[in-house]
Chains A and B, each alone.
Chain A
Amino acid sequence: MSAVGATGSARAVPAATRNVQLRAFTALCGRDLWVTVRHEFGSFLAQALLQPIFLLFVFGRVLPEIGAARVGYGTQLLPGVMALTLVLTALQNTALPLVIEFSFTKEIEDRLLAPLPVAAVAVQKILIAAVRGVIAGLLILPLAALILPGGIHVHGPNWAALIGIFFFGSLAAGAMGLVLGTAVPANRISVAFAVVLTPLIFTGCTFYPWIGLQHLRWFQVFTLINPLTYVSEGLRAALTTLPHLAGGWIALGLGVSLVLFGVLGTRLFIRRAVD
């Protein structure tokens, strides 16, 4: 109708360079971090920390005090609780939002139309969940210092191992969440969570060291299919002098979990995002 109309408001469309895609990726991360800090910090902390607080309190304080567990069980328990918190937080922070965003709120659509490949949206989901997992895992240390009877006793922490386990463990757990969040239809998610999370929690060497299972050989072997085992044993190795699964096996277990769930989860995500 007008001259402006004829020429259009058409600004030059930028080329889909790597830079454009990287900026979109960063902005998606920025949105998630902003929401974590500004809008959901309380609920994030409650979701991530309530369970470990009670685990530390009951297993690390109550049971030893009433004589149902050895004094010092808390110190043994600490790496396991950290691992559990790290893994569950990262897993749930990919799986739950994905289920909700794909099915109910459709919020995922705005991300899928952002200028980056669909697979990058999946990777970004894993990354942010991993960051949340790491934060929750780290917060266990001051909490344990407060809750456990004698505080925490960390013996010559192996920092490189600790960082490595946190990094790969949280990413692998985020990738597991990606698989869960994209493979399971929304109406089945509560069942899926019960069926997946319960065995994950109890077969992940969180409440007992892997080496201690020697006399229960079949169970010891069984725990090796649980990625959480490698995180628990890895943190046990990094933070304590307790006997643990060999370092090579821990690295292999984490690497395989990350690649396996990462590839599978991304494929499932793409299938869900593009018909």
Chain B
Amino acid sequence: MSVTESVAVVRVEDLHKRYQAEGPEAVAGVDFEVLEGEIFGLLGPNGAGKTTTIGTITTRVKPTSGRVLVDGVDVSVDPVSAKLRIAAVPQMSNLDRALTALENLTFHAAYFGAGRRERRERARELLARFGLGGRENDHVNNYSGGMAQRLMIARALMHEPRLLILDEPTTGLDPQSRLFLWDTMVDLRERGTTLILTTHDMIEADRLCDRIAIIDHGKIIALDTPTRLRRLLPAEHGVEVTVAATEDPTEAFTAVSASERSEARPAGEGRWRVRLYGESNGDAGGLPEQALHATQRGGLELIELKRLEGSLEDVFVHLTGRELRGADGAMVSGRWSG
């Protein structure tokens, strides 16, 4: 990480937002800081207040109360100065469809005062960096979803923003595009750009974010590094044994003394998964060793043995509950989904 000193690029102070006077609070008192050079993740179920929070930073949502400072500039007081410091990449394409890819970049830079030559050079450089060289004169209507996403990020970088905000950047992209974007985000951080990322993708958040705020019902319910967030899970340590078995093999594992409790579920194709919860290195020998013994003693064929560590998704579900949110709230899958 390149954070040498903790300079806050974004400071959100006691932010409240109510869209209608009598309506509920979309954001109900949010405080956080985004430090220079970090990737900051905003996670939350649909309707939790992520988009509203992002909207206040990008000057598109006026706070009901509280303050948002970008690079020391109060966004409500001086939105134009704030806009000089930020760039936002939305989930859905908002590219200028009347223009070619190259023109999308050069005109954007022109809005920010770049000279003709400077913007053409920078545009070509960014198009090449984002794998869009040779397609610069295409109209963006002919771009695929992944290409449009890359072009939007290239456009956002045209004016060298201090803060780049990405709203669910990899939703709906193919694996190649997703990996490319992940690499891009890491690269940007290394070049000193601060990033805010909203996502439903726990793997993405875990892999990329330096710190994550989990937001629900308009409030931040947890804010920490991915590693520390995982520790919030009460008892998710242990091992998972996958064995070939036609019926529930739990019986075979009753003698595992290091296990505090166990669960078994069929895994299809004549296999069962047994989870044994407990500390890996207990007094009575290691949990993995005991599990392995039990498998052999029970005459079960071992398919896979792995250490259980609560995933970020487990943390998320643990903190925000399992009920569905909004019209398309089916994002929280169970912990057996892996």
Residues of chain A whose beta carbon lies under 8 Å from any beta carbon of chain B: 1-2, 4-11, 13-16, 20-21, 23-24, 27-28, 30-31, 34-35, 39-40, 105-118, 273-275
Contacts and interface: CB of A to CB of B under 8 A. Distances in A.
Contacts of A30: 107, 110
A102 to B, nearest CB: 11
Smallest CB-CB A-B distances: 7 pairs: A8-B192, A5-B2, A106-B94, A27-B110, A114-B111, A16-B80, A16-B81
A13 B58 CA distance: 16
Contacts of B85: 13
Given A10-B162, A275-B62, 18 more contacts: A1-B190, A5-B190, A6-B2, A6-B192, A9-B160, A13-B84, A14-B113, A39-B99, A105-B94, A106-B94, A109-B60, A110-B155, A112-B59, A112-B60, A114-B112, A116-B80, A274-B59, A274-B60
Contact of B19 (A16, A108, A275): A275
B296 to A, nearest CB: 46
16 contacts: A1-B2, A1-B189, A4-B191, A5-B2, A6-B4, A6-B192, A8-B191, A9-B192, A9-B193, A21-B80, A31-B99, A31-B107, A114-B112, A115-B112, A118-B79, A275-B61
Per DSSP, are chain B's interface residues mostly helix, strand or loop, or mixed? loop
Interface of B: 1-4, 19, 36-37, 52, 55, 58-62, 71, 78-81, 83-88, 90, 92-99, 103, 107-108, 110-113, 155, 160, 162, 189-193
Contact of A273 (B4, B60, B92): B60
B37 A107 contact: no
A115 B162 contact: no
Given A5-B192, A15-B81, A275 B55 contact: yes
A113 B58 CA distance: 7
Contacts, number: 127
B108 A110 contact: yes
B111 A24 contact: yes
Contacts of A23: 113
Nearest to A100: B97
Q: Which of A6, A8, A40, A113 has the most CB of B within 10 A?
A: A113
Contact of A109 (B61, B94, B112): B94
Q: Which of A111, A115, A116 has the most CB of B within 10 A?
A: A115
A108 B55 CA distance: 15
A115 B84 CA distance: 6
A117 B59 CA distance: 10
Contacts of A13: 71, 81, 84-85, 162
Contacts of A16: 78, 80-81, 83-84
A111 B189 CA distance: 26
Q: Which of B4, B111, B162 has the most CB of A within 10 A?
A: B111
Nearest to A101: B94
Given A1-B1, A117-B79, A6 B37 contact: yes
